[in-house]
Amino acid sequence: AQKVTQAQTEISVVEKEDVTLDCVYETRDTTYYLFWYKQPPSGELVFLIRRNSFDEQNEISGRYSWNFQKSTSSFNFTITASQVVDSAVYFCALTPVPYNQGGKLIFGQGTELSVKP
């Protein structure tokens, strides 16, 4: 079975704190892709990052960084020096690859991050 688990339902931090959002996934496929999406209070879903299962290098983009560890089936997301504008619901997601499931995307339950001034 394929599954994505985000155990943290809600996180509240004060501005400028660092925060890590956890994501654990399950899949039997050897090839797969992992994603993070952001859903701000306005409701739209914004793509943040995609990572394939063969690339375990950490990724950094400004204040955002992602730690992919295949050994623990985790793809965690860290925001450094958080800001109020980071307040949103963040979703981790998995796409399996066999191509007969092309386009299938499995989401976690989401983590609601609240950054207070």
Partner 1 sequence: EAQVTQNPRYLITVTGKKLTVTCSQNMNHEYMSWYRQDPGLGLRQIYYSMNVEVTDKGDVPEGYKVSRKEKRNFPLILESPSPNQTSLYFCASSWTAVGAQYFGPGTRLLVL
Residues that bind partner 1 (CB under 8 A): 6, 9, 33, 35, 37, 43-45, 47, 50, 52, 91, 93, 95, 97, 99, 101-110
Q: What's the DSSP call for residue 52?
A: E
- Least distance to partner 1, CB of residue 47, Å: 4
- Least distance to partner 1, CB of residue 81, Å: 26
- CA-CA distances (angstroms) from residue 104 to 27, 46, 65, 93, 95? 13, 18, 25, 10, 6
In sequence order, the β-bridge partners of residue 78 are 20, 65
| Closer Cβ to partner 1, 50 or 116, answer by number | 50
